Amino acid sequence: MSPAAIETWFTKTLGVKYPVMQGGMQWVGRAELAAAVSNAGGLGTLTALTQPTPEALREEIRKAKKLTDKPIAVNITLLPSMRPPNYESYAQAALDEGIKIFETAGNMAPILPIIKKNGAIVIHKCVNLKHALIAQRKGVDCISIDGFECAGHPGEDDFPGLILLSLCRQQLKIPFIASGGFADGYGLAAALTLGATAVNMGTRIMCTVESPIHHKIKETIVASDEYSTTHIFRPLRNTSRVYKNSVAKEVNRIEKEKRENLKFEDVAPLVAGTRGRTVYENGDPDAGIWTAGLTVGLIHDIPTCQVLLERIGSEAIEALTTVNGLVKSKL
């Protein structure tokens, strides 16, 4: 008898073993990690804008393909900017290199037509049902719904995943992925029970052997608890969940002091992206702002991606089997 397996739209359509997607993480979603996740049976994701140019993205995709023959996705996040990158060129570079799965976030309008014209699958990240319904109307294939628990930007509504997943189950006609607050197979089982086709994990996969961040940051995550993150930029209505280090605490102090008079310029030197990159490269958790989800409280080790995905799969099957055993037929 073959071992038990979980089969969903995500596993069948994308050709992966486990309904687990690696989140697209700035400075983290590189070839080695994406390939390791895909080789382990999940869906690895390259973060396009980690690369300085579309040509650099091409090279990163080629590097990943030398490390795995499994499917990988490319994340393209489109945010308001005074000098936005050429998103269309990034999308075209990925398509030229044979990428068939894209994770998008923000205003996907500039790249959605070119991706769909080439027959690729689009998984669009949303933080509320309203945006998910709009994305569905625009023709995306799947929604990745981000709850309040997530690392990075959860929106301004503070909706937890438990409610968002149920709303999606009730009203969406396309598959949806649960994102934010997932770190093990029990969370995966819960998400599947609520109607999700898979889970998206960022912080948990960031804390693996193959993750390209400094080992001291991984050790910091393991030593953390559920109180170890904070929100910044709330007064600016651009809320982001980050690790609660000395820099984040200083940002929070300035936000409290300035209140409604806060301008981005008041905190800009503290939150520069180059400082966050230094955290991952040099291993000093207080060097800058870095994103982390509430799942830091659930992470207690630094496994390989293979060990992590196998454990998540086994835990989910055990949890689903146990729950199924609670159902008793009435005479």
Task: Indicate whether 2 pLDDT > 60.
Answer: no
pLDDT in tens, 45-96: 999 999 999 999 999 999 999 999 999 999 999 987 778 999 999 999 999 9
Nearest-angstrom CA–CA distance, 145 and 71: 22
pLDDT band at 146 (very low <50, low <70, confident <90, very high): very high
CATH code for the domain defined by 9-213+301-322: 3.20.20.70
Q: What does the mean pLDDT of the chain come to?
A: 96
B/e letters for 291-301, b = 16+ CB within 10 Å, e = fewer, are: bbbbbbebbee
Task: Indicate whether 248 pLDDT > 60.
Answer: yes
pLDDT band at 331 (very low <50, low <70, confident <90, very high): low
Which pLDDT score, from 0 to 100, does residue 318 have?
Answer: 97
pLDDT in tens, 210-232: 999 999 999 999 999 999 999 99
pLDDT in tens, 96-123: 999 999 999 999 999 999 999 999 999 9
pLDDT in tens, 156-177: 999 999 999 999 999 999 999 9
Domain ranges of the chain: 9-213+301-322, 229-291
Q: What predicted TM-score, i.e. pTM, was given to this entire model?
A: 0.95
Task: Indicate whether 270 pLDDT > 90.
Answer: yes
Task: Residue 315: name the closest of 189, 185, 181 by CA.
Answer: 185
- CB-CB neighbours of 223 under 10 Å: 12
Which residue carries 């050709």 as its tokens? Answer: 15
